[in-house]
A and B are shown apart, each in its own frame.
Chain A
Amino acid sequence: MKPAATAHPHNPWLAHAVRIAHTETAAPGVFTCDLVFEDPLTAAEYSFSPGQFNMLYLPGLGEIAISISSDPDQRDSISHTIREAGNVTRALAQLPVGTSLGLRGPFGSSWPTEDCVGRDVVLVAGGIGLAPLRPAVCHLLANRERYGELNLIIGAREPFGLLYPLEYDAWRAHGLNVHVTVDRANSDWHGAIGMVTNVLDRLWLRHAENTLLMTCGPEVMMWYSVQMAISRGLNPKSLYVSLERNMNCAIGLCGHCQFGPQFLCKDGPIFRYDRVASILKVDDL
C-alpha cells in the first residue's frame, strides 16, 4: 500500500547558492542581474530552455519567480531582468556585486523553438515581456539557417523603457527584423509610435499559415496580438503566450499559480494560445 513515487533525485526545495556577478539598470525601475553559481559542478550541470524561469531567494525576505533572460548557450552566468515591484525585487536591486543568494530552477515550459524549424517566426514583446523572449532570440539567431523569416516587434510605453536597445543592431545583423514602437515619444524619437498590433497589422508575412508567433507582455497586449495574428491568417495552434500568476513553490504543489486547469509553474508559463483561449478573458479567474 506504499504509493509509487516518481522520485526526483534532487530535493526540489533545496536552493543553489549563487552570487551576483554584475548588476545594471536596464530601464527606469528595471535592472538586470547576472548570477554565477558558487559550486562549479552545479554551474556545469545547469541548463535551461528559452522561456523558463528561476526562483530567486533572499533569505529572510522571500523568494520570487523571475524569467531567465540570458542566452541559453552562455554558460558563465545567468541573467534576469527584473522590474522593481515588491519587497524582494526592491531589495535585490540594492544588493552589491558579490552578494550571495539562493536559486532554484529552471522551472516551467519553454518557447517552442523546435516547432520553429523551417517556419517564419514573429515575436511580439511588450515592456518587460522582452526579457523572457531574449533567450529565444539568442537561440533562433544562433541557429539562424534553420528558420525562415524572423521578425521581432518590441513595444514600450516610452523610448527609455526599451530593454536591451544596444543589441538591436546586432540582432538585425544576424537576420532578425527588429521593429520598435512606443506609446509616447519624446523629441529624440525617430521610430514608430503606436501599439505592437499596429506593427503586426502591417507586417509583411510570406506565409501566414506557416508562421509561428510567440508573445510576452501584459495580458491585454498578448490578447490583442493573437487576435491580430488570427486576423492576419495565422493558425491559433501556432500562437504562444507567456502568462503570469502568483508563484510560491514553482513545483506544482502550492496551488497559488492556478489558472483554470493549468498550474502556471509546471504546465506554463508558456502556453499554446488555443489551450487557454477560452479562459483568458474570464475576469478574476
Chain B
Amino acid sequence: MTVATESNRTVLFLARSQLNQLIRTLADDGYQVVGPTIDQEAIVYGDIASADDLPIGWTDVQEPGKYRLQRRDDEACFGYVVGPHSWKKYLFPPVTLVATADRTGTGWQLSTPETEPPRYAFLGVRACELAAMKIQDKVFLGGPFVDPTYQKRRAAAFVVAVNCTQAAPTCFCTSMNTGPRCSSGFDLALTEVADGFLMEIGSEPGNAVAARLAVMPATSEQLERGNSARQQAVDQISKKLDTTDIRDLLMNNLRHPQWEEVAKRCLSCTNCTMVCPTCFCSSVNEVPDLTGDHVDRERSWDSCFNIDFSYMNGNPTRNSIQSRYRQWMTHKLATWHDQFGSSGCVGCGRCITWCPVGIDLTQEVASIRASQNDSSVGSAVSSSHDEKGNS
C-alpha cells in the first residue's frame, strides 16, 4: 500500500469506532479532554469522557441574532459549526486568581499563586479557533510582559483540530484567511468522513499519540472523500468582509455617521466580546474574605462595552454606545494590526450570531466603506508602525 500524503504530511485513517481510543489515550496521558457537548440547547465546550458526550447527530443553525440546534440525518460527531464557547475559556479563564494578600503582624504578605496548570486536550478545534489561539498567543505571550496563567495553560495543552465540513451563513473565515482548512497550530487534525476520520499529525506529541492508536494510512479514496467534505465547507461560505486597507478605512472614519447609526441598534450588552475567541479585556477585582485579612485579586473577563470600563477621574471616557461600539470594532479590525501585527478578527461569526439584535460587523464595515466622508480626521492617522519607522 502506498502511503498517502498531503502537503508532505502523512494522512492516517482512524475508524469511527476508534474515536474513543483517542479520547482514552489522551486521558491516560493525564490530559483533561474537553470538547463539544450539548448543554442548554447549544453546543458548548465541556469535559468529554467518551465519544458519547459529543453532539452526535446534531448540527447548529445560525444567522444574525439566531442560534438553534437541529437533528442531522447522519450520526456525525463534529457536524456543527461553532457555538457560543471558545477555547479561550480554558486558556484565559473567565475568572483567574492573579495574586493574593495576607495580613501579617506588621503588614501584608503579597503573593502570586504557584499552582500547577490543568493539562487540557482540546478536541474539535476549528481552523478559525486555531487562528484565535495564535492571536491570543501574541497578546498574552508576545509583549514585554507575559501572563503566567495563559502561558502555563497554553504550554500544557494538546490540540486536536477538526476541519470544518460545513459552514454557517455567519462564517467568513475565507475573508480573514483563517480557514476553513486547519494548516498549522495543532498536534492532530481530523477530517470527519462517513466511517471515520482522516488524521494529520502536526507535532511530535501528536505523532506519539497517533502511534498508540489503531490507525491505517489513508487510502486515496478516503483522501478524496476528505477533500470533498472540506470543499463543502468552502463552498457554503457566503459571507464576505472586504479587508482592503481596512485599518486606514476605519481610522480615517472615526467621525462617520454610521457609528451613530449602529448605536441605535446596539444594546451595549457585551455578548459579542464574551463570545469572541480573541477579545481579551479584563479587570482585576479585590475579593476579601469576611475578616479582611485575606484578599484574592481576581481577574475577570471585562468588555469595552461596559460603561465603567473606561472610567477615569470620576467619568467614563466612552460615555456613549456609539463610542464604545467604535472602540470595539476599530480595535478588532484596525488598531489590532498596529498592536499585534494582524487583525483581531478570525471570521468565526460568533459576534453576529450571538448579538441579540443581529448586528453584523461585516455589514457595518461595508456601510462605512460605501460612504467614507471623514478624510479630514484621518489622513494624518497613519499606521503607528510606519511612524515608529521614522523615529
Q: Interface residues, chain A, CB within 8 Å of chain B?
A: 1-8, 11-17, 19, 38, 57, 59-63, 85-86, 99-102, 244-246, 248-249, 251-256, 258, 260-263, 266, 272, 274-275, 277-279, 282-285
Cα(A282)–Cα(B187), bound, Å? 46
Cα(A19)–Cα(B104), bound, Å? 14
Q: List 15 A-B contacts (CB under 8 A).
A: A2-B154, A2-B155, A5-B151, A7-B146, A11-B112, A12-B146, A13-B98, A59-B286, A60-B286, A63-B284, A246-B309, A251-B145, A260-B251, A266-B144, A285-B326
Say yes or no: is B372 at the interface (Cβ < 8 Å to chain A).
no
Q: Shortest beta-carbon distance, A24 to chain B, in Å?
A: 21
Question: Which residues of B sit under 8 angstroms from A2, Cβ to Cβ?
Answer: 154-155
Q: A5-B146, A17-B108, A38-B107 are in contact. List 4 more A-B contacts (CB 8 A).
A: A3-B137, A7-B146, A60-B286, A60-B295
Chain B interface size range: 35 or more
Residue of A nearest to B309 (CB): A256
Question: Which residues of A sit under 8 angstroms from B106, Cβ to Cβ?
Answer: 100
Q: Shortest beta-carbon distance, A88 to chain B, in Å?
A: 10
Say yes or no: is B366 at the interface (Cβ < 8 Å to chain A).
no
Residue pair B251, A6 in contact (C-beta under 8 Å)? no
Cα(A8)–Cα(B309), bound, Å? 27
Say yes or no: is B229 at the interface (Cβ < 8 Å to chain A).
no
**Interchain residue pairs A-B with the least CB separation, the first 6:** A100-B107, A255-B281, A261-B338, A284-B323, A59-B101, A251-B145
Residue pair A254, B143 in contact (C-beta under 8 Å)? no
Say yes or no: is B185 at the interface (Cβ < 8 Å to chain A).
yes
Residue of A nearest to B109 (CB): A17
Q: Shortest beta-carbon distance, B9 to chain A, in Å?
A: 14
Cα(A279)–Cα(B381), bound, Å? 7
Residue pair B284, A14 in contact (C-beta under 8 Å)? no
Q: Interface residues, chain B, CB within 8 Å of chain A?
A: 98-99, 101, 103, 106-112, 134, 137, 139-148, 151, 154-155, 159, 184-187, 202-203, 205, 251, 254-255, 280-284, 286, 288, 292, 295, 297, 299, 302, 304, 309-314, 317-320, 322-323, 326-327, 330-331, 334-335, 338-339, 377-378, 380-381, 383-384, 387, 391
Residue pair A11, B148 in contact (C-beta under 8 Å)? yes
Name B101's contact: one of A16, A85, A86, A102 (CB within 8 Å): A102
Name A1's contact: one of B203, B311, B335 (CB within 8 Å): B203
Name A258's contact: one of B142, B145, B331, B387 (CB within 8 Å): B331
Residue of B nearest to A102 (CB): B110
State whether A1 and B185 are in contact (beta carbons under 8 Å apart), knowing that A12-B145, A251-B145, A256-B283 are contacts in the complex.
yes
Name B323's contact: one of A6, A246, A285 (CB within 8 Å): A285
Question: Which residues of A sit under 8 angstroms from B108, Cβ to Cβ?
Answer: 17, 59, 100-102
Residue pair A13, B288 in contact (C-beta under 8 Å)? no
Residue pair B141, A6 in contact (C-beta under 8 Å)? yes
Question: Which residues of A sit under 8 angstroms from B159, Cβ to Cβ?
Answer: 1
Residue pair B145, A253 in contact (C-beta under 8 Å)? yes
Residue pair B317, A284 in contact (C-beta under 8 Å)? yes
Question: Which residues of A sit under 8 angstroms from B141, Cβ to Cβ?
Answer: 3-6
Question: Which residues of A sit under 8 angstroms from B101, Cβ to Cβ?
Answer: 57, 59-60, 102
Cα(A255)–Cα(B340), bound, Å? 13
